[in-house]
Amino acid sequence: MLVALPFVWLSSCAEDETDPKIWVKKLNESAEVRKDALEKLEFIYEVDSTLLETCTKLTDEEWQKFHKDDVKMMKDAGKWDQYTSFCKKYKSKLDKKIPRFREVTIPALIDAYKQHNDWQKDDIIKLLIRFQDVKTPIELEAVQMLFLDVIDSFGGPEYLVDREKIDARVVVAIKGLTELNKFKPHPQTFEKIKGLMKKIYANPEQNDSISQIRVALVASILDLRGTGTNINKAFDAEVAEILVEMIRRGKHDTADEALFCQGRHCKQNFLVNKNAAIQLGALGVANKRVNNTLVGCLYSVEIGLGRLGKSFRECKVALSKLYKPEMRGTEIDPVGILGLLAQGDPARYPLSYDEKKDRWYASKEGDNYVMYGADPNQSTARSKMKDCMGNYEKYRNSDYFQFVTKRQWETELKFKNEKADPAAFEEFLTKKRADHKKRTSQWGEGACEIFDLNEKGKWDTKDSAVVERTALEALRGMGAAVETQTVLLDTYSSYSMKAFWDFTAEQSGKASIVRCKKEGMQDAFIKTECVPEFTNDISGTKSQWNKLRDYNWLVDSSKEAMYGAGWLMSAAANELNARTRAEMELRLRWLQDPRSTTFAAKSLAMMPYNKDSFNALMDVASFREGGTA
């Protein structure tokens, strides 16, 4: 190529066929002549630009310094002097010729595009991109407007006949517009993009059926705002909304029903959703809708692939990028939503039982039974969106909430070596309820969206802890140490889990006895046959009629909570760290759940070194005598 190019260029010059004016005059003739003219213009530009690029390298001392082998090879072949002689003679001419070429051809190409409606339009679009110098663009606004017109014309009468070609044309237009917008964003860009998306989602089975336009748009969308000092931040909110809409649409199990296409999931390559999440993280716009969307897409699985039970990485990374210290505790804090999700659906916690009325309930207000949701039989442990926020209120006022809070209070006093004061417990309970109310008021809506999706999709049928564990994984990925440790102690600590089991055992035991009596079992056999062992072991025996709450999700989630707490713990000497460490040391030998040992050991191993923790680990590892739990 290097040998041939000088001769091609020289011969072209001799025939004067490298003058673009000769060929632009032919752009408005017949389609055949126009096609030949476009090919000639492309050939001239490729030859000249390649020559200029080559000469720029060969005459650059820095390039020669770092490409000594290439220089030696050309010298050995006797070509170096020939090439450098050519470049010295013609490089200055090329420096002037190529800008002149652009000045002549680009306006002519724009005119030809407008004058003729045939498939050579696609060649013109590609040449407008190829010939343009984005650093000093020619006819900038005119070319941008041409690309925007291509985008705006998507879905016209000819679309049904030539869908693939039109999709490809729009993709090229998006790429061309992106390159020019990097220099100066066109003000109508996102107005046209939103119009395009509306047309696509009107019928994605037909429009952009393989998602190539959406894939291209997601890849380019941040640069469409401009780059470097040319970024127009005024477009950020529109870009964020476009990306959010892309994530909330598609054929996945967390798709927003309000954004369905013709009443069903929108056909969309799942790659669009993943890449849109990446771009949201890079965009840096954090608001309630963005954060709720990213939390939701942690649970997204493409329909047809099964419930994998793992959050997809792109959303976790995006949340981590968006999270800033100033968000902490605010309404848009994604950690707040994840903290509530990590603690589980409020309707999932144990119910109280009234033997006289044979009724299950959360709490009683006088003679009225307060129940989760609208189901009088209380047969579900999942919240629907319309009931979820109400369920949060019912939970914090429930008998179980008071029961588990008292266990937490007693454990905290024991840790501090303080005496119990009944009056102090009422103050502690009031504070706990107020904190829960504040958290659910701020972030409950975001958590409820996920609980509602779980209710519809029954995700936890195969993986009972998928919602809670995924949230805990995300908290760990975002470095939310305090929140992870707090969730561990409040929900997945040994004393909180034992409270769950004890309360469940007591209530389900009463229900079992009532049921056995109704079935005519003799009193002598009730405690041995109806309730085999009247202990918390009964909480592992599920039944359709005793309203027993499955506790396997607690066990599975507690392992992730322990791992996260150990991973994130700092060396700071504070009460939260001390209580977390003490919990892990206890879990090494906690017989209520022998599986805890492994995860407690991993957690302690990741924490900053502590002699007592090391000895506790060695006691277990070497089967030495130690404390019992």
Give the range with max mean pLDDT: 80-94, 228-242, 247-261. Answer: 228-242
Mean pLDDT of the 442-452 span: 92
- Backbone phi and psi for residue 354, each to the nearest 5 degrees, phi listed first: -105, 110
The predicted-structure confidence for 129-142, as pLDDT tens digits, reads as follows 999 998 899 999 99
- Backbone phi and psi for residue 261, each to the nearest 5 degrees, phi listed first: -105, 115
- How far apart are alpha carbons 577 and 19 in whole angstroms? 77
pLDDT bucket at 457, cuts 50 / 70 / 90: confident
What integer pLDDT is reported at residue 311 of this predicted model?
Answer: 42
140, 184 contact by CB (below 8 A) = yes
Helix intervals (H) in 519-610: 523-525, 552-568, 575-587, 596-606
Tracing tokens 């302690």 back to the chain, one arrives at 604
- How far apart are alpha carbons 178 and 187 in whole angstroms? 13
Q: Could you tell me the residue ranges of all domains in the chain?
A: 1-115, 132-322, 346-555, 569-629
Buried b (16+ CB within 10 A) or exposed e, 550-565: ebebbbbbbbbbbbbb
User: Quick check: 568 pLDDT over 90?
Assistant: yes
- How far apart are alpha carbons 193 and 166 in whole angstroms? 16
Bridge partner residues of 52 (DSSP): none
Higher pLDDT among residues 373 and 486, named by residue: 486
- How far apart are alpha carbons 376 and 378 in whole angstroms? 6
Give the range with max mean pLDDT: 461-470, 524-533, 546-555. Answer: 461-470
327, 479 contact by CB (below 8 A) = no
Report which of 578, 604, 570 is spatially closest to residue 412, judged by C-alpha positions: 578
What integer pLDDT is reported at residue 532 of this predicted model?
Answer: 52
Bridge partner residues of 252 (DSSP): 302
User: Quick check: 156 pLDDT over 90?
Assistant: no
Question: How far is the CA of 382 from the CAs of 229, 344, 549, 574, in angstroms?
Answer: 50, 10, 11, 37
Considering the chain, what is the average pLDDT of its residues?
86
User: Quick check: 348 pLDDT over 90?
Assistant: no
**String of DSSP letters for 533-557:** S-SGGGGG---TTTTPPP-HHHHHH
Report the C-alpha dihedral over residues 555, 560, 563, 566, rounded to 10 degrees.
-90
pLDDT bucket at 4, cuts 50 / 70 / 90: very low
Question: What pTM value is reported for the model?
Answer: 0.82
Bridge partner residues of 242 (DSSP): none
Q: Judge residue 347's burial from the number of C-beta atoms within 10 Å of its C-beta, 0-12 exposed, 13-18 middle, 19 or more buried.
A: buried
What integer pLDDT is reported at residue 539 of this predicted model?
Answer: 44
User: Quick check: 546 pLDDT over 60?
Assistant: no
